[in-house]
Amino acid sequence: MRGSSPRTAGEPSSAPGPVRVEPQAGSRGRRDLGPVRISPSPSPSPSPPRPRAGGGRGAPSGGDWALVRVGGGRAGRAGAAAAMKFPGSVLVSLVLFLSETAAALCLSAGYRDEGDGMWQVLTLLFALVPCVLVQLSLHFIHRDVSRDRPLVLLLHLLQLGPLVRCVEAFYIYFSAERVEEPYVSITKKRQLPKDGYSEEIEKEVGQAEGKLRTHRSAFSRASVIQAFLGSAPQLTLQLYICVLQQEVTVARSIFMVLSLLSIVYGALRCNILAIKIKYDDYDVRVKPAAYLCIFMWRSFEIATRVTVLVLFGSVLRVWVFLVVLLNFLCFFFYPWIQFWLSKSPFPENIEKELSRLGTTIVLCLLTFLYAGINMFCWSAAQVELSDPDLISKSQNWYQMTVYYIVRLMENAFLLLMWYIYRTDFYLYVCAPMLFLQLLIGYCMGIFFMLVFYQFCHPCKKLFSSSITEAFLSCFKILYFICQHHKTTLLKGKVAMKSPENTDEAQGSSKIIDPPNTSIHQSASSNA
């Protein structure tokens, strides 16, 4: 919401004032009001303050909605429960979080038994730091700071926050049929354009569904944090240890598979969050084909990126830190540089309880996460500190094109350095084939990205231009720049050349003359 906190995906935008709910004629004072009609209130008096449905982040709030008194009845409660989606994303996030944390603890214990203290410390560090950040994000999104909930705070300090939140989400879901909801929120969303027309539709969202949306939103953000601040560095570390020790144990392989799944799932949730935030005014429905394309796109992109970093680091150990640090700092300061150039006021009231220092810390953590995502893959949610929602609403194809071109060139350069300085360990590996496979794998990720944006994006009808057109225009610009550079060099060489006799002068004139002129001259000489 503007002025208080960034609006969560799924929240409706601002809208007209008070509304009055009237029963249809013939209701005869029944408990179940049945269909209702919403009409503007003729009274000019200000409406009472409208509370958030569910009282949490991600619940439908502010905007085109009104609190509507509804009747109880089994049919009404069953219909409301049937409209609620099963919180599967919450369960998947919890399973990945717990399994990866347990595997990290077991693997660190194994390193301790083997006497590898450095690997033990790094494994624990990459497991505990994102775990703490996940607890903070869940606590922040649910706004527990402003409420007196000491037991929940204690459970978060014990690193049991995700488990408690998951139990709350499933309790809300399964108790929806038994608990009567006296009020619902009416939200307005626009349909995606069909045959050039778009209609505005109304939805009734109960308090239970609003709370469940808050849990889904919180776990989606927690999955992104876990993926790129924990799982991605963890996967890189474990693969690097495998290369150094020339051994892939069962425990380490299981841990790497879990980390890769966590990264891909976090990138998928980041894509879905970006779509829902950018197109918050529309009723967005993501189809299974879109999920499949995102999964393949992120799998190829992240797996090849991690492998390239590990191969480069195995032969040039010091230089890999410089590459990682340079990448991280560039993406960390990029949103801040954009913000300073825009000369926008400092974002105030990200959360009412936060001071200016607290707001700065939250923004730094946000850009820290943004840099961590772009280290391994393209971040679908582009941070824009001058926007009230902190996320850019525009679809910048050229920025995405430049990112993938530069990243492909960087991966090719790192692989070339690995190929030149590879050690005897890689004698039994077909280095040229591995070089080619990694580049093709990254290009396959780009291919699935193009398929997603061209055919499977749920809001592709709203695009002013397609991504293929953007790619073609970028390549045309690069082609014209290269042609202009070649023409400039050719003219410079011709101008610098000083012929000594007439034959050389004629030869130079033939070089710079058009082909038709040279053909005419040869024909006349033959005649």
Q: Concatenate the DSSP letters of all residues of 175-204 into one string.
A: TTTTS--SEEEEEEEEPPPBTTB--EEEEE
Alpha-carbon torsion angle 352, 354, 357, 359, nearest 10: -70
pLDDT in tens, 250-303: 889 999 999 999 999 999 999 988 888 888 777 788 889 999 999 999 999 999
pLDDT in tens, 397-447: 888 889 999 999 999 999 999 999 888 777 778 888 999 999 999 999 999
107-112 long-range Cβ contacts below 8 angstroms, 24+ apart: 107/238, 107/251, 107/252, 107/255, 110/251
Q: What is the 3-state secondary structure (H, E, C) of 452-519?
A: HHHHHCCCHHHCCCCHHHHHHHHHHHHHHHHHHHHHHHHHHHHHHCCCCCHHHHHHHHHHHCCHHHHH
Alpha-carbon torsion angle 447, 452, 455, 461, nearest 10: -130
- Report, as ranges of residue numbers, the positions in the chain whose pLDDT lies below 50: 1-82, 501-502, 504-505, 507-527
Give residue 325's pLDDT: 93
- C-alpha span between 130 and 229 (Å, rounded): 6
Q: How many CB atoms lie within 10 A of CB 158?
A: 11
Give residue 415's pLDDT: 93
Give phi and psi for 36, each to the nearest 5. Answer: -120, 155
Nearest to 434 by CA among 413, 419, 417: 419
Residue 438 belongs to what H/E stretch? helix 431-451
Q: How many CB atoms lie within 10 A of CB 408?
A: 14
- C-alpha span between 120 and 80 (Å, rounded): 50
- C-alpha span between 469 and 397 (Å, rounded): 9
Torsion over CA: 486, 488, 492, 495 (sign):
positive
